[in-house]
C-alpha cells in the first residue's frame, strides 16, 4: 500500500469512528450473538463529503479486479448510495437490486438495463459472512447476470473471503477490521484490552464455507443428468426421486386435486406409470379414510411414484408439529414429501424435522409462487434458498418458478404449468413445460387441471411427460 493510501485509510477510519459508524462496547447482533464491536455505515449518508470519500476508496480497490464488467450494483441499502456515487463519477452504468419485488408477473428483481450473461461488480459496505453479497448475487443471477468480483469497504475478517470464493466470487476489501483496530489503538481511541476482546471475538465467530456439495455454475448443473445429481446426494429421499425420474424418464408430478377418494385412485392408476410423484391436498378429500391411504400407498408401490402432500405448513413450530403428525390425516405416516412456507421462521422447519427426519421424509420449501400478485419478495426467496442450503438433511429442494440454487442436490419443482401459457380466473398463471425446464432451468413440472380435466387423461399425461423430459434432455446436450 502506498503512503498516500495509508494516510487516506487512517483518516477514513478516524472519521468513521468519529461519526459512530464503528463503535466498541457490548452489542447484540441481529443473530443474537453478543459482540464487542458494532459497525453500521448507514450513517455516512449524513456526511456527504465522507460518503464521496468512501466511494472513491471503493473505486480505487476495484482497480484490482481482473474481469471485465458491464455495470456495478450496490448491496441494498447502505451500499446503494455508494454505488450511485461511483456510477456518477466514473460514468459506469448501475443496476439496482429491488429488495421488495413487485407481484409475480411484473416482478423485476433488478432495475436498469442489462443483457443475458453480463458481468456485474458488487459494491458492499461491510462484509461479515458474505451472505448479503450472496443474496444480491442470487437476485442478479435469476436475471441472467453473472458476478465474479465484489468490493467491500470493511471486511470484518470473519470468513467472507472464503465463503464467497466457494461461490466463485473474489472479494476485494479497502480495509480489514484488524487494520481498523490498529489505527484506532495507535490513535488512542481504543485500548489494547478492547483490541484483544475484538480479536478473540473474531476468532471464535468465524464463518466457514459450507462442507456441503460444492455449488456448480448454472450451465454445469444443466449438463448434469438426474442420475449424476442423484449420486451427489446424501439425502436418501432426493436420491430416490432422482432415481425414479431417470428410470421412468419422467419429471412430471400430477396434482390430484379431486374431492372424492375414488376419483383420486382412478386418476393415479391411469397416470401412475408416467409420473415420478403424485401431489395431494388431503384436506379437500370429502370421504377420507385410512382405507383410502392404504390404497394410495399400494398404487404408489405398484407404479413406483412418491407421495407429496402439498400442505404448505406455515404456523409456529409446535402447531406445525401437531398438524404434520396428528389430526385425522396423520400426514407423517404416509406422505414421503411435504412442503412448508418459512414465513414463521426457523421453528417450522425444526418442528417438521423433529418428526420427519427419523422417518426419512423430505421437505420442499416454498420459495416462489405461481399466483399473480403473490407477496413473496426477492429477499424472502433468497432467505428461503439459504435455509434450504443449510438444512439439506431434510430439505430436498424448492417449489419455485425459477432456478434458485446452484447446488445440484436441490430440486426445483414448478407448479402453474399447462401446455399453453395462460391463466385461470382466480389468479393462477401458467407457463409451458419448455419454458419451465429449458428456459428457466427448473427440474420438475407439477400439473393439475391440465391433466385432470382432460378428456384423455393418459395421453395428456404422456404429452406433459414427454414435453418436460425432452426439455430436460435438450439441456444435457
Ligand atoms: N400450487 C400452485 N402454485 C404455487 C404453489 C402450489 O399452483 O405456487 I406453492 C399448487 C396448487 C395446485 C397445483 O394444487 O399446484 C396446480 O394446479 P393446476 O395445474 O390445476 O393449476
Within 13 Å and on the Cβ side, how many CA atoms surround 74? 21
Q: Which atom of ligand 1 is nearest to the CA of 447?
A: 19
Sequence ranges of the binding site for substrate: 257, 279, 370, 428, 448-449
Q: Does residue 211 fall inside a structural domain? A: no
Last residue of a domain, one of 178, 204, 230: 204
Quote the pLDDT of residue 221.
Answer: 64
Q: Do residues 317 and 421 share a domain? A: yes
Question: How far away, in angstroms, is 233 Cα from ligand 1 center?
Answer: 27
Give the position, in ligand 1's atom list, of the atom nearest the Cα of 450: 19
Domain end (from 176, 204, 232): 204
The C-alpha cell that represents 398 in the structure block: 424448492
**In-domain check, residue 238:** yes
Taking CB atoms and a 6 Å cutoff, what residues make up the pocket around ligand 1? 255, 257, 281, 310, 366, 369-371, 399, 415-416, 428, 446-450
Residue 396 sits in the same domain as residue 260:
yes
Q: How far is the CA of 416 from the centre of ligand 1 (A)?
A: 6
Nearest CA to ligand 1 atom 11: 415
Q: Which residue's CA lies nearest to atom 8 of ligand 1?
A: 369
Nearest to 103 by CA among 329, 372, 331, 417: 372
In this prediction, residue 103 carries a pLDDT of 46
Q: Binding site: what residues are annotated?
A: 257, 279, 370, 428, 448-449
Angstrom distance (rounded) from CA 31 to CA 257: 41
240 and 322 in a single domain? The answer is yes
Cα separation of 356 and 396, whole Å? Answer: 12
Alpha-carbon gap, residue 267 to 425, rounded angstroms? 24
Nearest-CA residue for atom 14 of ligand 1: 255
Q: How many whole angstroms from 36 Cα to the centroid of ligand 1? A: 48
Atom of ligand 1 nearest to the CA of 424: 21
Report d(CA 259, CA 281) in Å as an integer.
9
Residue 418 lies in a domain: yes
Same-domain check for residues 229 and 192: no
**260 and 298 co-located in one domain:** yes
Instruction: Count structural domains, the chain.
Output: 2
Active site residue 315: yes
Closest ligand 1 atom to Cα of 428: 21
pTM value is 0.65
As averages over each run of 10 residues, the pLDDT of the chain (477 residues) reads: 85 98 89 86 97 98 96 96 98 91 59 95 95 89 92 96 92 97 97 94 80 54 87 93 98 98 98 98 98 98 98 97 98 98 94 96 97 90 92 96 92 97 95 94 97 98 98 91
| C-alpha pair distances (Å), 35 with each of 40, 41, 343 | 13, 17, 27
Residue 283 lies in a domain: yes
- Residue 26 is part of which domain span? 3-204
Name the residue with cell 464503528: 22
Domain of residue 11, CATH code: 3.40.50.2020
Are residues 274 and 181 both part of a single domain? no
Which of 204, 230, 251 is at the close of a domain?
Answer: 204
Catalytic residue among 197, 239, 312, 386: 312
pLDDT at residue 212 in the model: 47
Secondary structure of 374-434 in HEC code, one letter for each residue: CCCCHHHHHHHHHHHHHCCCCEEEEECCCCCCCCCCCEEEECCECCCCEECCCCCEEECHH
Residues 176 and 300 in one domain: no
**Is residue 213 one of the residues assigned to a domain?**
no
Active-site residue 312, yes or no? Answer: yes
Of the candidates 118, 149, 310, 443, the residue annotated as catalytic is: 310
Residue 306 CA to residue 329 CA, distance in Å, equals 17
Same domain, 240 and 352: yes
Q: How many Å apart are CA 443 and CA 364, to the nearest integer?
A: 13
15 counts as catalytic: no
Amino acid at each position: 500500500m502506498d503512503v498516500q493510501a495509508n494516510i487516506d485509510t487512517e483518516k477514513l477510519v478516524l472519521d468513521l469512528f468519529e461519526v459512530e459508524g464503528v463503535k466498541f462496547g457490548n452489542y447484540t447482533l441481529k443473530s443474537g450473538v453478543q459482540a464487542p464491536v458494532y459497525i453500521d455505515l448507514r450513517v455516512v449518508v449524513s456526511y456527504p463529503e465522507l460518503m464521496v470519500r468512501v466511494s472513491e476508496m471503493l473505486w480505487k480497490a476495484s482497480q484490482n479486479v481482473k474481469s471485465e464488467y458491464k455495470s456495478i450494483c450496490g448491496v441494498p441499502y447502505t451500499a446503494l448510495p455508494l454505488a450511485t456515487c461511483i456510477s456518477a463519477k466514473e460514468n459506469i452504468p448501475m443496476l439496482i437490486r429491488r429488495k421488495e419485488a413487485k407481484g409475480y408477473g411484473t416482478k423485476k428483481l433488478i432495475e436498469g438495463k442489462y443483457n443475458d450473461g453480463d458481468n456485474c461488480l458488487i459494491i458492499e459496505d461491510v462484509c461479515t459472512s458474505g451472505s448479503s453479497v450472496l443474496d444480491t448475487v442470487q437476485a442478479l443471477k435469476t436475471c441472467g447476470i453473472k458476478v465474479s468480483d465484489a468490493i467491500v469497504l470493511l471486511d470484518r475478517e470473519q470468513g467472507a473471503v472464503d465463503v464467497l470464493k466457494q461461490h466463485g466470487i473474489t472479494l476485494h476489501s479497502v480495509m480489514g477490521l484488524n487494520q481498523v483496530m490498529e489505527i484506532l489503538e495507535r490513535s488512542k481511541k481504543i485500548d489494547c484490552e478492547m483490541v484483544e476482546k475484538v480479536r478473540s471475538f473474531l476468532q471464535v465467530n468465524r464463518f466457514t464455507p459450507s462442507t456441503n456439495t460444492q455449488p456448480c455454475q448454472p450451465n454445469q448443473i444443466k449438463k448434469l443428468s438426474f442420475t449424476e445429481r442423484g449420486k451427489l446426494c446424501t439425502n436418501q429421499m432426493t436420491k430416490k426421486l432422482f432415481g425414479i425420474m431417470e428410470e421412468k424418464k419422467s419429471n412430471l408430478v400430477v396434482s390430484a386435486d379431486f374431492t372424492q377418494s375414488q376419483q383420486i385412485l382412478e386418476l393415479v392408476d391411469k397416470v401412475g406409470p408416467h409420473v415420478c410423484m403424485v401431489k395431494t391436498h388431503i384436506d379437500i378429500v370429502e370421504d377420507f379414510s385410512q382405507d383410502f391411504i392404504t390404497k394410495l400407498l399400494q398404487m404408489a408401490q405398484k407404479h413406483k411414484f412418491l407421495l407429496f402432500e402439498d400442505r404448505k405448513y406455515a404456523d409456529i413450530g409446535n402447531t406445525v408439529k401437531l398438524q404434520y403428525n396428528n389430526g385425522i390425516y396423520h400426514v407423517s405416516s404416509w406422505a414421503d414429501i411435504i412442503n412448508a412456507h418459512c414465513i414463521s421462521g426457523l421453528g417450522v422447519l425444526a418442528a417438521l424435522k423433529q418428526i420427519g427426519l427419523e422417518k426419512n421424509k423430505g421437505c420442499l420449501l416454498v420459495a416462489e409462487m405461481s399466483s399473480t400478485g403473490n407477496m413473496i419478495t426477492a429477499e424472502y426467496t433468497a432467505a428461503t434458498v439459504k435455509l434450504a442450503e443449510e438444512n439439506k438433511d431434510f430439505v430436498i429442494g424448492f417449489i419455485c418458478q425459477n432456478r434458485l440454487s446452484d447446488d445440484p442436490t436441490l430440486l426445483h419443482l414448478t407448479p402453474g404449468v399447462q401446455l399453453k401459457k395462460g391463466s385461470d380466473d382466480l389468479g393462477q398463471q401458467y407457463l409451458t413445460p419448455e419454458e419451465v425446464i429449458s428456459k428457466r432451468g427448473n427440474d420438475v413440472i407439477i400439473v393439475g387441471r391440465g391433466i385432470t380435466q382432460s378428456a384423455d387423461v393418459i395421453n395428456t399425461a404422456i404429452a406433459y411427460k414427454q414435453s418436460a423430459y425432452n426439455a430436460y434432455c435438450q439441456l444435457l446436450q
